[in-house]
C-alpha cells in the first residue's frame, strides 16, 4: 500500500508463493526459498564449485530426505541440512561426506575462515611444487637436447623413451598435481558417477600408460593450477563481501554518567549506552545523536555520495563515517542487530539462492561429463576397429578429449559472477537477496510502484486545515493528532509535526483501531472519532458533507485529502502536500528507455491526486483508491500480461502485492527492518534512481555470464573437432582450458568494480 490517506494499514502478511513468477525449476525452489540458516550447517573442505555440489547432492541427499533438504554456499564452503527432512545425525552426515573425498565438520564461522585460508594455502603449495618439478624436468630436457628438442617435446608424442633423470621430476610433478583430486576421483569411480576430477585423473593415468610423462605432468600441473585459480577467485569474491565487516570499527568510545570515557568492544556496548564519535571516525553502532552536529558520509551503507547533515534526534548507522565535529550518540541497537550486520547476513545467505543460469550450468555439467566419457571411449575404439587406425594414436586423442572436456571454466564462471554482482550491489546501496534476483531485473518489462516515498519525497506536510461546522482549527488538529499519536506513518508524522508547531497539547486516543486501506478509529473523552480518506468518509455516509469545491481544490493540486470526523459527520479536512522528487521524471524516462514497457502507479490515494502526480512524471497508468487486495489483483493482471514484473513498495504494507510480483523492491530499507526482510531487493535509501542502475547492473552481470559460457563452450568445440581429426595435443588442450579459466574469472571479477557514479555505462547494456 502507498503512503497516503488510505495507508493506515499495518498488514504484516508473509510472502506467499509467486504464481507464475518463479524463475527457477523445482530444484531451485527447494534450494532458494528456504534460508540456509534453517537447519544444521557444515564446513566442507574441498567444496570448491558446482561439481562438488552435484556430488554431495547424490551422496548426502538420500540420507537427509532428498536434495530439497540441502542448501549450499560454495563461496563459504558451507553445506546446510535444512529442517524437515529425515533425522540423520551430524556424525552420519560427516562420514558420508568423507566418502566423497571431501571432509566435513560442524559449521563455525571463525573456524571456517581459518579452514578456507588453510585449504587455499595447501592448494597453492601443492600447485607450486607440481609446477616446480614440471619446470625442473623441462629444463633438464632443454639442457640435454637443446631448444630444438624442447620444441619437439611439445610437437609430438610416442617418441623415444624418456631418461629416468627427466621422467623423475615429471613423475613428482604428477604426484603433487593430482594429490588433492585423487580422493574425489576415486570416490567418483566407485560410485560410477564420472566428474571432472575423474576425467583428469584418467587422462593423466592414460598418458603415463603411453609413457608420455611430459604431457601427464603438464595436465596434472595445469589442472591443479586451474583448481587453485578457482579457489582464489572465489576467495576474492568472498573477501569483497567480508570487507563489509571492516566498515564498523571493533570498539566504541563509551561515555559514562560520571563523564569518564573508555574504549569498549562494540559487541559489548548495551542499548541506550552513549558513545563518542570524533571527526573522521567510523560510527561503530546504530544510534540516535543526542549532542553535537555535523555531516556523515553514509555511502558505505546507502551509496549516497553527498554528506548527510546530522544533529540531535537524527539516526546514524554503523559503518558510516563522521565528518567534521564530534557527535554523542545513544546506541539504539546491539552490534549484532545493526543495519550493517543485517546487510552482511543477507548477502551471506544470498549465495544459496541460485540464479536460473547458474542452475542450468550445473545441470549441463552433470549431463555433459558422462557424455564426454562415452565420446572418448568411441574415439579410442572406433577408428582402430573400423578403419584400422593406430591404437596408441587414437587412445591418445581420447585422452586429449577428456582434458579439453573438463568443465572447470564453465562451472566456475557463473557463481563467481553472481557473487561479484551481489557484493558490488551491496557496496552501491542495493541489497540483492540471491542470485535469482541478480538475473530478474534485467528482464523487467513492467514495474508497479507506490506513490509516496517513491515518486514523491515521502515527507508530507499539512498544507491546510479546513474546519467544517463549529469546530476550531486547533480542536480539529488535536483530534487528528490524538488518533495518530502512536503511528510512525509519514502522514502521521506530518500531522504530529503540525500539532507540535502549533503548540497543541493532546493525549493519545483510546481504543484506536486501524481500518485497512481506509483510516483509523478511536475514542477521545468518551466520543468516537475517526480519520481517513475521502472514501472512508463516503463509506460512513458522510461524504456529501465535504464541500465539492474544497475536494476539487485539494485534489486538483495533486495533494491528499484527509477527513476527520465523529459519529455526527465530518468535522473537517486536512490537506497534506508531498513534493514530487525533482529527478522522478528523468528516472521514469530512463526506465522506459531501458525497455520497461509499462510503469503503473498503485495507490490508495484519490484518483485526481494520483493522476496529477503521474501526468507530471510520465507514468503510463494509474490505479487509485486501492485496498490491499486490490493491489494484489492489479499485480496479478500485470503478471499475466508481462514476462517479469517488479513491485516497488515499503516492504511492509505492500507485502502481499510484492509477493505476487516476480520480485519486490523495498524503498528506504535503512531503519526499516521489515522492509529488508520482506523484499527480494532492498534499496538502502529512498532513491528510486537506484532502480535503473539495478536493471543495468543486472544486464551487465548476465552479459558477462553469457560471454563466459560462450567462450568456454566455443573453446571446447574447437578442440573437440581438432581431436576428432587427430590434430590436438594434450598439453595444448589443458593450456587452453586454463587460459579460458583465467579469462572467465577476470571477466567475472570486473563486476566488483561496478559503480553508481556512471549510470549511463550500464543502463543500456543488453543481455
Active site residue 450: yes
* 344-367 pLDDT tens trace: 666 555 545 555 666 676 677 667
Place of cell 545493526: 338
The pLDDT, as a whole number, for residue 125 is: 94
Q: What is the pTM of this model?
A: 0.63
The pLDDT, as a whole number, for residue 148 is: 66
Domains recognised in the chain with CATH numbers: 34-107 (3.30.70.100), 120-241+351-407+704-753 (no CATH), 249-335 (2.70.150.10), 461-577 (3.40.1110.10)
* 235-247 pLDDT tens trace: 765 665 566 556 6
700-707: average pLDDT: 91
645-666: average pLDDT: 79
The pLDDT, as a whole number, for residue 377 is: 86
Question: Which of 315, 337, 285 has its CA nearest to residue 273?
Answer: 285
Q: State the maximum Cα–Cα separation within the chain, in Å, rounded to a whole number.
A: 113
Distance (Å, rounded) from C-alpha 199 to C-alpha 525?
Answer: 83
* 60-114 pLDDT tens trace: 999 998 888 888 877 678 898 988 878 889 999 999 999 888 889 998 877 777 7
DSSP string, 132-189: HHHHHHHHHHHHHHHHHHHHHHHH--S-SPPPHHHHHHHHHHHHHHHTTTHHHHHHHH
Mean pLDDT of the chain: 79
DSSP string, 39-95: EEEEEEET--SHHHHHHHHHHHHHHHTSGGGEEEEGGGTEEEEETTS----HHHHHH
Residue 617 has pLDDT above 50, yes or no: yes
- What SS3 class is residue 683? strand
Q: Which of 195, 450, 756, 763 is catalytic?
A: 450
Residues 6+ apart with CB under 8 A from 306: none
465-469: average pLDDT: 92
C-beta atoms surrounding 473 within 10 Å: 15
* 165-218 pLDDT tens trace: 888 999 999 999 999 888 888 877 877 766 677 777 887 888 788 788 888 888
Question: Which of 90, 114, 118 has its CA nearest to residue 104?
Answer: 90
When mean pLDDT is compared across 13-22, 428-437, 687-696, the lowest value belongs to 13-22
C-alpha distances in angstroms, 377 versus 202, 402, 759?
12, 10, 52
Amino acid at each position: 500500500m502507498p503512503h497516503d490517506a488510505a495507508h493506515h494499514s499495518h498488514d504484516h502478511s508473509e510472502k506467499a508463493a509467486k504464481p507464475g513468477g518463479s524463475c527457477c525449476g523445482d530444484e531451485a525452489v527447494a534450494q532458494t526459498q528456504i534460508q540456509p540458516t534453517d537447519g544444521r550447517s557444515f564446513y566442507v573442505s574441498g567444496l570448491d564449485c558446482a561439481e562438488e555440489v552435484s556430488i554431495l547432492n547424490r551422496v548426502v541427499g538420500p540420507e537427509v530426505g532428498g536434495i530439497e533438504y540441502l542448501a549450499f554456499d560454495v563461496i563459504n564452503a558451507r553445506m546446510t541440512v535444512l529442517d524437515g527432512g529425515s533425522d540423520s545425525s551430524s556424525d552420519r552426515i560427516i562420514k558420508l561426506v568423507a566418502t566423497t573425498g571431501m571432509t566435513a565438520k560442524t559449521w563455525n564461522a571463525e573456524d571456517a575462515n581459518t579452514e578456507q585460508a588453510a585449504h587455499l594455502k595447501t592448494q597453492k603449495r601443492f600447485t607450486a611444487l607440481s609446477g616446480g618439478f614440471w619446470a625442473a624436468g623441462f629444463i633438464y630436457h632443454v639442457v640435454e637436447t637443446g631448444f630444438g628438442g624442447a620444441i619437439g617435446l611439445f610437437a609430438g608424442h610416442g617418441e623415444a623413451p624418456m631418461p629416468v633423470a627427466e621422467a623423475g621430476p615429471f613423475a613428482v610433478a604428477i604426484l603433487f598435481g593430482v594429490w588433492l583430486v585423487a580422493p574425489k576421483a576415486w570416490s567418483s569411480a566407485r560410485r560410477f558417477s564420472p566428474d571432472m576430477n575423474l576425467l583428469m585423473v584418467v587422462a593423466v593415468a592414460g598418458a603415463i600408460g603411453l609413457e608420455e610423462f611430459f604431457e601427464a605432468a603438464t595436465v596434472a600441473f595445469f589442472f591443479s593450477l586451474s583448481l587453485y585459480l578457482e579457489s582464489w577467485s572465489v576467495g576474492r569474491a568472498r573477501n569483497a563481501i567480508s570487507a563489509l565487516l571492516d566498515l564498523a570499527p571493533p570498539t566504541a568510545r563509551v561515555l559514562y554518567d560520571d563523564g569518564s570515557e573508555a574504549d569498549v568492544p562494540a559487541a559489548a556496548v548495551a542499548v541506550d549506552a552513549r558513545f563518542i564519535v570524533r571527526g573522521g571516525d567510523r560510527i561503530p553502532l546504530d544510534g540516535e545523536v543526542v549532542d553535537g552536529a555535523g555531516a556523515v558520509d553514509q555511502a558505505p551503507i546507502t551509496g549516497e555520495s553527498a554528506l548527510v547533515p546530522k544533529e540531535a534526534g537524527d539516526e546514524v548507522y554503523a559503518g558510516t563515517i563522521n565528518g567534521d565535529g564530534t557527535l554523542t550518540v545513544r546506541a539504539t541497537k546491539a552490534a549484532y542487530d545493526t543495519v550493517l550486520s543485517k546487510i552482511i547476513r543477507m548477502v551471506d545467505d544470498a549465495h544459496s539462492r541460485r540464479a536460473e543460469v547458474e542452475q542450468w550450468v550445473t545441470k549441463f555439467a552433470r549431463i555433459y561429463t558422462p557424455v564426454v566419457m562415452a565420446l572418448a571411449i568411441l574415439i579410442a575404439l572406433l577408428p582402430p576397429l573400423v578403419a584400422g587406425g593406430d591404437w596408441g594414436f587414437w587412445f591418445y586423442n581420447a585422452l586429449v578429449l577428456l582434458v579439453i572436456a573438463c568443465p572447470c571454466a564453465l562451472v566456475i564462471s557463473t557463481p563467481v559472477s553472481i557473487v561479484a554482482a551481489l557484493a558490488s550491489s551491496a557496496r552501491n546501496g542495493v541489497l540483492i537477496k540471491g542470485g535469482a534476483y541478480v538475473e530478474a531485473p534485467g528482464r523487467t518489462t513492467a514495474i508497479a510502484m507506490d506513490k509516496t516515498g517513491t515518486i514523491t519525497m515521502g515527507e508530507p506536510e499539512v498544507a491546510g486545515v479546513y474546519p467544517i461546522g463549529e469546530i476550531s482549527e486547533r480542536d480539529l488538529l488535536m483530534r487528528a493528532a490524538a488518533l495518530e499519536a502512536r503511528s510512525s506513518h509519514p502522514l502521521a508524522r506530518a500531522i504530529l509535526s503540525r500539532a507540535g508547531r502549533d503548540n497543541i497539547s493532546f493525549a493519545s486516543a483510546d481504543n484506536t483501531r486501524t481500518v485497512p486501506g481506509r483510516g483509523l478509529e478511536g475514542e477521545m473523552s468518551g466520543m468516537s472519532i475517526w480519520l481517513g480518506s475521502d472514501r472512508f468518509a463516503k463509506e460512513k455516509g458522510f461524504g456529501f458533507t465535504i464541500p465539492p469545491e474544497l475536494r476539487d481544490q485539494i485534489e486538483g493540486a495533486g495533494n491528499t485529502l484527509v477527513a476527520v470526523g465523529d459519529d455526527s459527520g465530518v468535522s473537517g479536512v486536512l490537506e497534506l502536500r508531498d513534493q514530487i522528487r525533482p529527478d522522478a521524471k528523468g528516472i521514469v524516462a530512463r526506465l522506459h528507455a531501458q525497455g520497461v514497457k509499462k510503469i503503473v502507479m498503485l495507490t490508495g490515494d484519490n484518483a485526481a491526486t494520483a493522476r496529477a502526480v503521474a501526468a507530471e512524471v510520465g507514468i503510463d497508468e494509474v490505479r487509485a483508491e486501492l485496498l490491499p487486495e486490490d493491489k494484489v489483483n492489479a499485480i496479478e493482471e500485470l503478471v499475466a500480461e508481462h514476462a517479469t514484473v517488479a513491485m516497488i513498495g515499503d516492504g511492509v504494507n505492500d507485502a502481499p502485492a510484492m509477493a505476487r510480483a516476480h520480485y519486490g523492491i523495498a524503498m528506504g530499507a535503512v531503519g526499516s527492518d521489515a522492509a529488508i526482510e520482506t523484499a527480494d531487493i532492498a534499496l538502502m535509501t529512498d532513491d528510486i534512481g537506484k532502480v535503473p542502475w539495478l536493471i543495468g547492473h543486472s544486464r551487465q552481470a548476465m552479459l558477462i555470464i553469457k560471454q563466459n559460457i560462450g567462450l568456454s563452450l566455443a573453446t571446447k568445440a574447437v578442440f573437440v573437432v581438432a581431436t576428432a581429426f587427430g590434430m590436438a595435443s594434450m598439453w595444448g588442450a589443458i593450456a587452453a582450458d586454463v587460459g579460458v579459466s583465467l579469462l572467465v574469472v577476470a571477466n567475472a571479477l570486473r563486476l566488483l568494480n561496478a559503480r553508481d557514479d556512471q549510470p549511463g555505462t550500464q543502463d543500456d547494456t543488453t543481455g
